[in-house]
Structure 1
């Protein structure tokens, strides 16, 4: 069986041998605040409460797992909430500029025993959050006086760090960005083997939820594999040699109907779709290219197929084709002889920083995981590619002047697998991968000198981050963190 990428690989966030902090040392740590938004914030009030076990879901607007995944003991992971009156109350004035990291002199909460309530001010309005919150999920700050902003916070226990993101409306997050930005300048969440949410072999299934729910929650890159037959234009969805569902074949056309409906409802958005031929069918790449052209292209109404990286304004409401297959020679004449679709037909294999043959992308796609301990290597490679993606700067030229050529895409697969080892199947590795990348995005991404090799920080984009098993039990934190980094582009607007 050919080797295929199947799942997210990552390291445990706290390793018992070196990273687990004692309760006493953690209790002495000072709170760090990262403002990963385009608006200045000021911490105005700190209140300290005794903690008690949380009843039910705790405070409002919980979006996904966060605090607990950074802990290695059940004691630290217990859900707690504030009880009684504040036993310590301090009025403070701690400004945090956009994209500033501020180490305060405020002792963070004693894990399991305390809750610290923080009140921030932005544009004359106040917002409040408990640290840690009553659930192990990211939290939207309480809006105390009807202010216009909304902020999502992620508290990372290991770094005593509260990271604050602008709360994106995930179904339409692209509407906040200018048309002039090339897609490669954006921070884009993606999914690996995107439609594989159905009942299937555990080594085949890579996703917790379907494509519509992924789109509604901000995913804007789909990785699609299809089976091609020489005598049929039907394209069944597959993962390597296997169908994606044990209850009957699922088809490309039906998936497109779902995507089209989403784009009709959210015309500010676009979707990059990587299409690759897999499965047992005997059809060729060339056959696949003609099926796509003749059956689905629709004269450009739904698809963007010019072989260059577009600006966002050119492709709102459309699917951008990234073809990981060869074209029929007749399609080489399209677009003035430049070809058809973004060309990913020469794709680097099992790589740390491979170049796509056409030059449109740099790819981290190391997927050979022989045992669960190899996940550490995968994590470091994913972090390094995030650092590379953060280095470029995308200038916005003055009106009427020509923009410079766009940077290539940075495509970063968190997926890896070993078909023969159950502890290296997609869901198992994603349970370690996704929290580790959340931690990196909250603590180190975009922070000068904090990346694996210390590259300069430009626009602090993440590139395209391709994930497994997002959305499980409502956990969209990884997607929120990726989308949140687009705020750096909004500062330039």
Structure 2
């Protein structure tokens, strides 16, 4: 049997099968994968590095799962069993996902960053037709989500989260409070969130006005938003939400605003944002 270990940390890791004190050692080079033999009788694997030893029981599951580590560890470990004779481990450095942008220079343009996002961020209801997420917006933000896909419809004069024709119930006002709390917290004020807003109904005159009015009335108001139609540097938008509007017309103060948006363009499409070429995939 073989075990492939992908060491995605910056440290050389020493591992050993069997007991903590006995057995053959293997040195795992940083940022590389190595495949080593192991016996089915070896039910544990010891990692020794950064003064930490971890006992890892080899589970028989056929899916990726995160390994529960005891105490403080500088790593996150995932495991999988690709086949009866081939196990895989991936060792990653631990990072605080709630504030991972804190270590990135202010001078970095957002276009140079890979920002995790969720499709239909507020589609929490309506399984199996309209539900796309099962974690709250606050949980998503603390998990590292930095691009949100907010879709709204006008219901009784207010903006409510919708997925197509299906209500998702969360008022836009509540979404704004969650964004404000996250972006103004002392522990996460280093972050920014790109907020894509898409209209799910047809009142194109009232919708932009309601978006504006509800933002003005929310905690932080317009001052918490980046509303220019250009790609900012990270330092400009720490502690702010970046408007990415899929509503309204060109020339409005709706933040980053693609002039075109072909429906379900599987091959993607190009557009310019103040001299920056942007390629978008909507599929």
TM-score by length of 1: 0.49
Look up the match of 1:206. 132
- Hey, what's the Cα distance between the residues in 1 that align with 2:106 and 2:130? 37
- Hey, what's the Cα distance between the residues in 2 that align with 1:242 and 1:273? 21
- Aligned residue for 1:172, secondary structure, equals helix
State the 1:88 CA deviation: 10
Please tell me whether the aligned partners of residues 7 and 29 of structure 2 are also in contact (alpha carbons under 8 angstroms).
Answer: yes
- Asked whether 1:252 is paired with 2:169, we answer no
State the 1:226 CA deviation: 0.9
- Asked whether 1:139 is paired with 2:67, we answer yes
Look up the match of 2:16. 46
Structure 2 counterpart of 1:100, from 20, 28, 32:
32
Q: How does 1:10-159 map to 2 (within 5 A)?
A: 27=1, 29=2, 31-37=3-9, 39-43=10-14, 45-48=15-18, 86=19, 89-97=22-30, 99-101=31-33, 103-104=34-35, 106-108=36-38, 110=40, 114-122=42-50, 125-132=51-58, 137-139=65-67, 141-142=69-70, 150-158=74-82
- Hey, what's the Cα distance between the residues in 1 that align with 2:20 and 2:137? 48
Computed over aligned residues only, the root mean square deviation of the Cα atoms, in angstroms, reads 3.0
Look up the match of 1:291. 210
State the 1:294 CA deviation: 4.3
Look up the match of 2:165. 241
- Hey, what's the Cα distance between the residues in 1 that align with 2:241 and 2:32? 35
Q: How does 1:435-454 map to 2 (within 5 A)?
A: none
Look up the match of 1:167. 94
Please tell me whether the aligned partners of residues 36 and 163 of structure 1 are also in contact (alpha carbons under 8 angstroms).
Answer: yes
Please tell me whether the aligned partners of residues 272 and 319 of structure 1 are also in contact (alpha carbons under 8 angstroms).
Answer: yes
State the 1:345 CA deviation: 4.7
- Asked whether 1:225 is paired with 2:151, we answer yes
- Aligned residue for 1:193, secondary structure, equals coil
- Aligned residue for 1:267, secondary structure, equals coil
State the 1:304 CA deviation: 0.9
Structure 2 counterpart of 1:341, from 249, 255, 261:
255
- Aligned residue for 2:135, secondary structure, equals coil
Look up the match of 2:281. 364
Please tell me whether the aligned partners of residues 153 and 165 of structure 1 are also in contact (alpha carbons under 8 angstroms).
Answer: yes
Runs of 4+ in 1 over 4 A off after TM superposition: 133-136, 140-143, 297-300
- Aligned residue for 1:184, secondary structure, equals helix
Q: Which has the higher helix share?
A: 1
For structure 1, the 5+ residue unaligned runs are 1-26, 49-85, 335-339, 367-493
- Asked whether 1:195 is paired with 2:114, we answer no
Which structure has more relative contact order (CA 8 Å, sep 6+)? It is 1
- Hey, what's the Cα distance between the residues in 1 that align with 2:135 and 2:240? 22
Change (3 A) 1:164 1:203: same
For structure 2, the 5+ residue unaligned runs are none
State the 1:343 CA deviation: 1.6
State the 1:163 CA deviation: 1.3
Look up the match of 1:321. 243
C-alpha offsets along residues 99-152 of structure 1, whole Å, 9 cap, x if unaligned? 223x24x31463xx6423132323xx2342415359863125456xx7xx6100
C-alpha offsets along residues 341-367 of structure 1, whole Å, 9 cap, x if unaligned? 11235224323341243365433333x
User: How many residues are treated as equivalent by the alignment?
Assistant: 270
State the 1:160 CA deviation: 3.2
Change (3 A) 1:138 1:252: same
C-alpha offsets along residues 370-425 of structure 1, whole Å, 9 cap, x if unaligned? xxxxxxxxxxxxxxxxxxxxxxxxxxxxxxxxxxxxxxxxxxxxxxxxxxxxxxxx
